[in-house]
Amino acid sequence: MPIHTPDWVKQAVFYQIFPDRFAKGSQSSPLTNGLPLEDWEAPPTLQGYKGGNLWGVIEQLDYIQDLGFNAIYFTPIFQSTSNHRYHTHDYFQVDPLLGGNEALHRLLEAAHWRGMKVVLDGVFNHVGRGFFFFNDILENGSYSPWLDWFKVEGWPVSAYDGDRPANYKGWFDNRALPEFNHANPAVREYIMRVAEYWMWAGIDGWRLDVPFCINEPGFWQEFRNRVKAINPNAYLVGEVWRDARKWLDGTQFDGVMNYRFAGATIAFTGGDRVQAEHVADRDYEARPAIDAATYADKIQLLLHAHAWDIQLTQLNLLASHDTARLLTIVGGDVETVKLANLLLMTFPGAPSVYYGDEVGLEGGLDPDSRRSFPPRAQWHPEIAACHRQLIALRHSRLSLRVGEYRLLGAEESVYVFARIWEGDVLIVAVNAGETLGKIDLASVGTRLNAQPNQVLYSTEDHDSIGVTWTIDNLFLEIPARTGIVLG
């Protein structure tokens, strides 16, 4: 059976927004006026709210679009008792702190008017303790009609007293996150209707939280069928950190958050700069340092793991709300950020940039990775320029969006590949090492049926880049810590 994925995703560059921390809108509500919120520029805390909202996102759509982003992925926005909103209380209500349902509807109108897509976070494995059906169990105990919606294992249910067993299944034994009983047909139908409700409201897809925790046969196949029945071009992307082949068979998701790409790219470009404390408990192998040949092996495994139509709708990233930010991971090394973003923006699939990374925002692991968006005076100009130029280059060349990816060479710290779409041939070369990198690529001209020799982009302004064609052979000399694009 042929695999079909949304064509718009293949042209997309995503901007990931953690809404409490991105922007405060000038529009306010009597419900939220005068609330005691944390200072915007103070370090983030696990439980504090900064007051960012969807009105603020609407007011910043010009900024987002001007950078070249044409799709937004939001972390959860539904009513919840946490600043990250993974503790869902009501799937049918946008959190009042974010502006409520009205703000989302206005945001969808404004984004779609600009040709931008909006993907929401679907947290369907677990809920918060205040979720109505679970709260009824806390109030009524064994008399609750909703017992079979959750995995209650004994009495009394202890939702808050850490000195007593919780007696119900919580996500990773977290009593604040009771897990649904997905074997209950009513629970399954409820989740499907939530997904359908927001599809009818106009969202363009779902990012699905911890989908590997829901193991009921046929669940994700039914989810896909019901979502796609409303919008065949809806994007379904799963949070799967490691081998995702079982999820990307064409019957479930269109792609996953490509943490395997992130880990390999950070390990190659960052090398020994990667600080263990920022990646040690993250499941994406961002260290130890790897050379170009090892990076090539990892990338080839990724490229051959899935059908090409799936590869083109992977959500590629370097950081997210669940990781430390790249600039902090590599100890502030700006060259690593530029090299990694060059590889991100030239890789098959949809690139995704975590809000603030495009201006050099720093941050360690949660909650530090969820800092407020900084004022312009704190933006890093080199990093901002790098993102703007690379996104523009990606939009300008069809080969970077849907073209073939062909490895040309990998020696020591130099990695070279081509992106090819009909007559549009680009060569991308990265030297992640500390010294001048040299590589001789035999018969490249014949293999590519082209000899690109113009430097379209370089991470550093170097006059010492050497591009020499001798009949069909290409000899490259690339300064240390530099990446280039030839066209």
By annotation, the residues acting in catalysis are 209, 239
Q: How far apart are CA 351 and CA 13, in angstroms?
A: 5
Edge-to-edge, what's the strand order for the sheet holding 437-441?
437-441, 473-478, 466-470
Task: Give the helix/strand (H/E) hosting 467.
Answer: strand 466-470
Is there a cis peptide before residue 36, judged by omega within 30 degrees of 0?
no
Q: How far is CA 448 from the centre of its chain?
A: 32
Token digits of residue 452: 């690109």
Q: How far apart are CA 58 and CA 45, in angstroms?
A: 25
Edge-to-edge, what's the strand order for the sheet holding 424-431?
404-411, 414-421, 424-431, 482-486, 455-458
**How does 195-211 read in b/e, with b if 16+ C-beta sit within 10 Å?**
beebbeeebbbbbbbbb
Q: How far apart are CA 311 and CA 304, in angstroms?
A: 9
Q: Which residue has 């109030």 as its token pair?
A: 139
Q: Give me the phi and psi of 100, to 5 degrees please.
A: 70, -175
Q: How far apart are CA 408 and CA 441, in angstroms?
A: 7
Token digits of residue 379: 């933006």
Q: How far apart are CA 345 and CA 318, in angstroms?
A: 11
Please, what is the Cα angle at 465 between 393 and 433, to 5 degrees?
90
Alpha helices of 231-273 — where are they, by DSSP H?
A: 259-270
Alpha helices of 376-418 — where are they, by DSSP H?
A: 381-396, 398-402
Q: How far apart are CA 85 and CA 193, in angstroms?
A: 20
Please, what is the Cα angle at 302 between 300 and 304, to 5 degrees?
70
Token digits of residue 267: 């390990």
Q: How far apart are CA 110 and CA 115, in angstroms?
A: 9
